Structure 1
Amino acid sequence: MTWVLILVAVVLAAPFLREALRPRMGAQARQSAPGQFAELSQGVTHYIWQGPENGPVVVLVHGLTTPAFVWGGVAEGLVEQGYRVLSYDLYGRGYSDRPGGAQNRAFFLRQLQDLLKDQGVADGFTLVGYSMGGAISAAFAAAHPGRAGGLILLAPAGTEPLLDPTARFVRGVPVLGDWLMLTRFPSGHRKATEAERDLPTSVPGIVDLQQAELRWRGFIPAVLSSLRHMLGQVQEEDHRAIAASGLPVLAIWGAEDVTIPIRAKAAVERWNPAAQHVVVAGAGHGVTYTHTGEVMAAMQAFLAES
């Protein structure tokens, strides 16, 4: 009986020990990072400026699991059009710090506000959010009317609660949910990203880059915290507030997206009838980097009109 209890204890402790033994994101790892770093109120944030210094500013906010490198093709396209592009790693991802606490609306808005202030970004910039970054961007635009001059949402989260049973479980059950997340998420993440290995991409090596995030301490807990907090919201009030403010909005959707299904488009249409929509045929949730040409065409038309 004693050996059974010991075995159970080892099985339960193993994922937490494995997480504790992962390397920290710190100065040595950051030596190879592009861009720069800002000491903000919640920790170090990695950011990258690209494009002409006098160009109109576009700020890019990435999603749940893929850091700022996801914007490679989009940022390049915007720079070619003369825009000044700012991208950054959300806390818990990429080269940014892994602070504790709930990764909720206030947490992510504070990081974005801190960065904009630190970099002296004036009002009137275009805010672009992908997946969870779309939820963050919509929340920011609703909370700070007049700051952004335009809002572009790519496969945005925030239109419906999480429906996946495993995601609901890990989000709703403390400790055991943490154990399951640490146990199951790495293999699930690898499987999901491997499924895209043969797809066209504007970000060279994106599958390997995505999987490399798993080696750093704090990445999986950050994803879990975002699932429990930021992605637990349905953002009807935000979208209705954006509609009332008159802010121009473009939403781009992948027709074959199973993460943010195309049915989410109907919710945004209902909450903000003035928003423009583009559906990219054949695109899944990776629309930002698998169908960059179509995304850029839609963004270019919207930006010219705005």
Structure 2
Amino acid sequence: MIWVVVLALGVIAIPQTIEWMRHGVSAKRRADSPGKVKLLSQGETYYEWLGPERGPVAVCVHGLSTSSYVWRGMAKGLALLGFRVLVYDHYGRGLSEAVSGKQDADFFVTQLVDLLVLEKIDEPLTMLGYSMGGAVVAHFAARYPGKVKQLILLAPAGMHDIAGGKIKMTRDWPVIGDWLFLLIYPFILRKGIRAEAGLPSSVEDINALQHAETDRRGYFPAILSSLRGLLRHKTKEQHLAIAATGLPVLAIWGEDDDVIPLASKDALAEWHPQAQQTVIPGAGHGLTHTHTDQVLDAIKASRG
């Protein structure tokens, strides 16, 4: 009987043991990176400036399971448009610290505000949000409309619940949901990464970068915390507030996106009828790096 209990406890401990065995962010990796790591109010954040030393600032906010590397191709194009481009890693992703706490709207907006204060950026910004980053920048723009001059949303979250099936169950169940998430989600995510291995990308070795992220301690708990926090709620209230200010909004969608349904376009049109929207044929959820030129063309067209 005792061995049955021991075996059961061993099985229960498997996901947490695997998580504990994953590597943390090493000082060498940070030192070898082109950006900087600074301590903000919630933890250490990695960020990087790209493009010219002068010019209007574009802040790029990545999504749920990527980190700032996803912007490398886009940033080059934005720099050619004259933008100074600021990218950074959410907590628990890339080279930023994995911190405790619920990753809700306040959590993400605080990190962004802290970074802007640190870098003494007080001019109106062009803000780009990809996937979950679209929800982050919507919350930021709704709270600080005077700090934003254009909002560019790339396959943005916030219009529909993106957690379905097993993921929704793990999100909604405390304790056992944590165990199930750490057990099954790494397989789901890695399967998706492998499926995209042959796609063209403006980011060199993006598949390897994605796989490396999944071996980082704190990464999967951060994703679960975001699903339970920011991504649990729609951004209807925020977009209604943004629409009331007259802030220019451009939303770019992938025709074949299997993460953010194209029906989200209709929800945004209802909340913000003045928002400019465009759909890229053949693009999936990775349009930021798989269809970079088309995304940049849409941004150029929106600027007149």
TM-score, normalization by structure 1:
0.97
Verify: 1:90 aligned to 2:97, yes or no: no
1:122 is paired with a residue whose SS is coil
2:210 corresponding residue in structure 1: 210
Contact 2:162 2:259 survives alignment (8 Å): no
Query: Partner amino acid for 1:177?
Result: G
Aligned residues: 304
Contact 2:90 2:96 survives alignment (8 Å): yes
Query: Partner amino acid for 1:175?
Result: V
What's the % identity of the aligned pairs?
49
2:35 corresponding residue in structure 1: 35
1:100 is paired with a residue whose SS is coil
CA distance in 2: counterparts of 1:143 and 1:150, whole angstroms: 14
2:101 corresponding residue in structure 1: 101
Contact 1:126 1:150 survives alignment (8 Å): yes
CA distance in 2: counterparts of 1:181 and 1:289, whole angstroms: 27
Contact 2:163 2:227 survives alignment (8 Å): no
Q: Deviations over 1:152-205 (max 9, x none)?
A: 000000101235111111111111111111111221111101111111110011
2:146 is paired with a residue whose SS is coil
Query: Partner amino acid for 2:147?
Result: R
Deviation, 1:82, is 1.5
TM-score, normalization by structure 2:
0.98
CA distance in 2: counterparts of 1:81 and 1:241, whole angstroms: 29
Query: Partner amino acid for 1:32?
Result: D
CA distance in 2: counterparts of 1:195 and 1:32, whole angstroms: 30
* Ranges in structure 2 where 5+ consecutive residues have no aligned partner: none
CA distance in 2: counterparts of 1:15 and 1:234, whole angstroms: 30
Query: Partner amino acid for 1:237?
Result: E
Deviation, 1:18, is 1.6
CA distance in 1: counterparts of 2:178 and 2:33, whole angstroms: 30
2:21 corresponding residue in structure 1: 21
After TM superposition, the structure 1 stretch with the greater mean CA deviation from structure 2, 129-138 or 157-166, is 157-166
Query: Partner amino acid for 2:280?
Result: V
2:39 is paired with a residue whose SS is strand
2:73 corresponding residue in structure 1: 73
1:288 corresponding residue in structure 2: 288
CA distance in 2: counterparts of 1:53 and 1:25, whole angstroms: 29
2:145 corresponding residue in structure 1: 145
Q: Deviations over 1:94-115 (max 9, x none)?
A: 0001110000000000000000
When the two chains are superposed, the root-mean-square deviation of aligned CA atoms in Å is: 1.0
1:164 corresponding residue in structure 2: 164
Deviation, 1:21, is 2.2
Verify: 1:247 aligned to 2:231, yes or no: no
Structure 1 residue runs of 4+, over 2 Å off? none
1:272 corresponding residue in structure 2: 272
1:146 is paired with a residue whose SS is helix
* Ranges in structure 1 where 5+ consecutive residues have no aligned partner: none
Query: Partner amino acid for 1:159?
Result: M
